[in-house]
Structure 1
Amino acid sequence: MVEIISKSMVKAQPPPQLPADQKYHLTPWDLAMLSAHYIQKGHLFANLPSTLSIETIINNLKTSLSAALHHFYPLAGRLATQHELDNDGMYVFIDCNNEGAEFIHADAHLVSVEDVLAPSSDDITALLVPSFFPLDGAVNHDGHTSPLFAVQLTVLSDGVFLGFASNHVVGDGTSFWNFLNAWAEIARSKLPSRSPPILDRYLMDFGAKPPLKLPFSHESQFIVRFHPPPFSEKVFHFSSEAMAKLKAKANEERGTSNIISSFQSLSALMWRCITRARRIPVEQVTNCRVAIENRTRLRPALSPNYFGNSVYALCITATTGELLSNELGWAAWLIHEAVVAYTDDVIREMVRKWVEAPMVYNASMFDEFSVLMGSSPRFDMYGCDFGWGRAVALRSGSANKFYGKVSSYPGWEGCGSVDLEVCLETESMAALEADPEFRAAVSQPVPLRDLLSKNING
């Protein structure tokens, strides 16, 4: 249903002034991502102004992308590897050669915005939406020959979908959304009202300076191309009122006053309900992994403009029996304590251990009894206005998905609302939707008519 019309490379203009070797060295957080998939996120836009032609949209996107890449120049480069002469290891870095980011124009004129927004449609999610994203199935190491950033504009019968793929070695979710918002600002204003966040790369004092050597002689020693079995994927909505109730419930059960956050309470809910839906034995140890940002926790803190990876997945552990025999507040408190304990000293010790024994993560390391809370509702995802108005929905591709993966997004209406994209075994998904605790907390999604009735100024 999706036909590729054209592909082209967009280079940074004007080309950035770089040192002669053009090398952009990577940190432990970056190198650990070599076997993960690209980040794949996208926006669904409806009710575009009738005066805007597709040609005008494409030209503006390309021109503004070129300007944005001047500031975020590693995204226009390629990965490169330098081997030790004795084959005792390798150095992986970004060659800032300005080969360009890829721009793809695609057509899906038989698909409507309503088709993409169809509630709880496994067929749409599994078959259609992934085709809106470039570099499907690519792992980050493929950035040696593939672009580090790619965008696909898919024209629908009554809207467009912008699907992005960004190499996770180059940056995490914070970096990804900072770049997209800077690009969108340039696109909608032609000349940015403020300077986009300039690349602010720190050589962090972790006891080792880049370049860092990986103890491998060939990429086959650390690249795992993970292909998950078929799973069910659905998006669930939690209104601002629902989030407030969860927070109040967790704090009341622990006898605390607003200490446990709303997202910690939501994570505890998902950990409990998914574990129950899976019918895991009571003695089995289960984990809740929560993606957490390092920038503000380091001392001194990293610049908010730091471009790269600075994220970790905290691991909170309990047996199924402990998790389900206690209240929501008990699980939320475990998560809260783990977040509080995640300090500068802990982060630096983890990096020190990685430098001593480097490793590369891959999705097959994730165990079947765990839940991973990824992404963040704090990212300004709906702020990406390219000049056509606000997106009506956010969706993701097939990258980095497996049983127990939960990705969080801000709700369309804002005000603290949250959308969760949940990937589960088919039977477990059905059990989750029927779970009384889950049903009591989840909200009705924003009505389709409300999304589609918003005009360019709405």
Structure 2
Amino acid sequence: MQSPPVQVVSRRTVKPPPRPRERIPLTTWDLSMLCADYIQKGLLFAPPPFSTARLVGHLQAALADALAAYYPVAGRLAFDQHRDDTGHVVGCSVSVDCAGQGVEILEAVADGVAIADVIPPDVDVPRFVRSFFPLDEAVNYDGHERPLFVVQVTELADGVFVGFVYNHALSDGTAFWNFINAWARIARARLSPTGAPGALESRTAPLFERWSTDGGAAAPLVLPYADLAVLIARPTLPLPPQRERMLHFSAESLEALKERARQELLVAGDAAGAASLTRFQAMSSLLWRCFVRARCTAPDQEVVFHATANNRARLRPSLPADYFGNAVNAVSTEAVRASELLARGHGWAAAAVGRAVVAHKDADIRAHVAAWAPEPGLSAFRLFNPNGMLISSSPRFDMYGCDFGWGKALAARSGKANKYDGKVSLFPGREGGGSIDAEVVLAPEHMAALEMDEELWAAVSPDVQPTRKG
């Protein structure tokens, strides 16, 4: 269908309770996100048993309570120049100014759009889904003048879409979904007979103090630039055409992919690789090899697989699960010729992904941090080339646990942020049990070729269409 008009009918600012002003310095992992787009993720729901106006008020009240614990979300980025003894500017640091400036909730209406229009089976993600997310041109650097978090509640003909737009310099996806789930718990409690008090008391408080390599409190990281604006590379408009599809992999399909890779490795004599295989490796192998075929990559062209990895459990000592900041790196396989990748098969590619993941340990993470500071790059996740691919997000994020009081979401979707040819974002499958939804972004000609790939479609499971009852 044609992109429908989405009309914003109200805008509200939500602030946390007053508290002492605080500055939280951003460090390597946070600063590397300044050039990237805001996170844009959202959830599609059946209609609540009350009006949209009451729904927005309900979410607003619960969000104010959540911000009492997650107060940095309501702040702004602050840039500070640093000078030497002569007064010469030698660098700039960035922090979160936690002064309670506030977040925003927008109420919008999408006339004539139904749930079935948002999640049509076996076709591209409709372009109009992007209009459910505000701040669609913002990069994280803009957080010094824009809110770090904006919500758009869009009323549909028979449902509602709640779109979250979140500054990625503030935290990674793990912390982001922890925050959204905390907000949802408070919202559910507010609709219960006993009300909201205590909804967060039994939960571990988020840890805002940034990690440092020496184990102490992180000091402001001074970048060797007087003005970071010179480093911010915004996408050139208009963006090249893209197509997006959601591919569903059931738990059974993923297990079959893993077993096929395991058998191939055993035949090849790689017992260790076979023993350590995961379903993530098997799915990554499938997509990597199918992308190379879809792009008709030249046989001698080197190709690389990238994936984002959570550093929390990989560090020694490990970071708490409730660390609220960025703690991710991109891990990469060794470059391999396209012809070799395809000839060696599914099991070999899965093992190559596994080697890259296993190698990402404490020493490797610390080496990346040490190498970044002297020559900072603010485009860590724009590392694509026409022959690469990147898997980001995670099926471990509890997206479908975000019940705001009227039932489980029907689907999870994203906006146009941080998308390019070769990008894959992972979501948990709605039915759970280890199923995965993969959002695949490719150039139109590459997507058309992918749709003809028999190996891919033998593994993709039929769409699981949600019911309105959740």
Q: Judge same fold: TM > 0.5, yes or no.
A: yes
**Where do residues 82-101 of structure 1 align in structure 2 (5 Å cutoff)?**
82-85=80-83, 86-101=88-103
Structure 2 matches for 1:292-441, cutoff 5 A? Answer: 292-316=309-333, 317-361=335-379, 364-441=382-459
Indicate if the aligned counterparts of 1:251 and 1:259 stay in contact, CA closer than 8 A.
no
Q: What one-letter code is carried by the residue in structure 2 that aligns with 1:70?
A: A
In the alignment, residue 125 of structure 1 is paired with which amino acid? P
Retained in 2: the 8 A contact 1:148–1:166? Answer: yes
Report the secondary structure of 1:42's partner residue: strand
Query: For the structure 1 residues 328 and 410, does the alpha-carbon distance in structure 2 shift closer, same or farther, using more than 3 Å as the test?
Result: same
State the distance in 1 between where 2:130 and 2:275 align: 39
Q: Distance in 2 between matches of 1:362 and 1:140?
A: 13
Q: Which residue of 2 aligns with 1:133?
A: 133
Q: Which residue of 1 aligns with 2:193?
A: none
Please name the residue that 1:169 is paired with.
Answer: 169
Match of 1:4 in 2: 8
1:335–1:364 CA distance, 2 compared to 1 (3 A): closer
Paired residue type of 2:411: A
Secondary structure of the 1:187 match is: helix
Aligned residues: 444
**Amino acid aligned to 1:157:** A
Please state whether the residue corresponding to 1:276 is helix, strand or coil. Answer: helix
After superposition, give the CA deviation of every residue in 1:388-417 in whole Å (9 maximum; x if it has no partner).
Answer: 101110100000000100001011111111
Unaligned runs of 5+ in 1: none
Q: Contact 2:12/2:106 (CA < 8 Å) preserved in 1?
A: yes
Cα–Cα, structure 1 residues 98 and 41, in superposed 2: closer, same or farther, change >3 Å? same
Match of 1:215 in 2: 224
Instruction: Report if aligned partners of 1:2, 1:131 keep a CA contact under 8 Å in 2.
Output: yes
Give the aligned residue type for 2:112: L
Q: 1:72 is matched by which residue type in structure 2?
A: Y
TM-score (norm 2): 0.91
Which whole-Å CA distance do the structure 1 matches of 2:391 and 2:339 have between them? 21
Asked if structure 1 preserves the Cα contact closer than 8 Å seen for 2:26 and 2:210, the reply is no
TM-score (norm 1): 0.94
How far the C-alpha of 1:440 sits from its partner, in A, is 1.2
**Take 2:366 and 2:300, find their aligned partners in 1: how far apart are those partners?**
34
Q: Which residue of 2 aligns with 1:199?
A: 206
Instruction: Select the residue among 114, 117, 139 that pairs with 2:116.
Output: 114
Say what the alpha-carbon RMSD is for the aligned residues.
1.6
| Aligned residue number for residue 279 of structure 2 | 262
Matched-pair contact (CA < 8 Å) for 2:15–2:67: yes
Aligned to 2:408, the other structure's residue is in SS state: coil
Instruction: Read off the aligned partner of 1:246 and give its amino acid letter.
Output: L
Distance 1:328 1:215 in 2: 45
1:7 is aligned with what amino acid? R
What aligned pairs does 1:35-74 form with structure 2 within 5 A after superposition? 35-49=35-49, 52-74=50-72
Gap regions ≥5 residues in structure 2: 191-195
Instruction: Give the alignment partner of residue 271 of structure 1, picking from 272, 288, 293.
Output: 288
Compute the displacement of 1:215 (Å).
Answer: 1.4
Per-residue Cα deviation, 1:360-380 (whole angstroms, up to 9, x for no partner): 116654211001001011111
Output one character per residue of 1:154-179: Cα deviation in whole Å (capped at 9) or x when no partner. Answer: 00010000000010000000011000
Alignment partner, residue 306 of structure 2 = 289
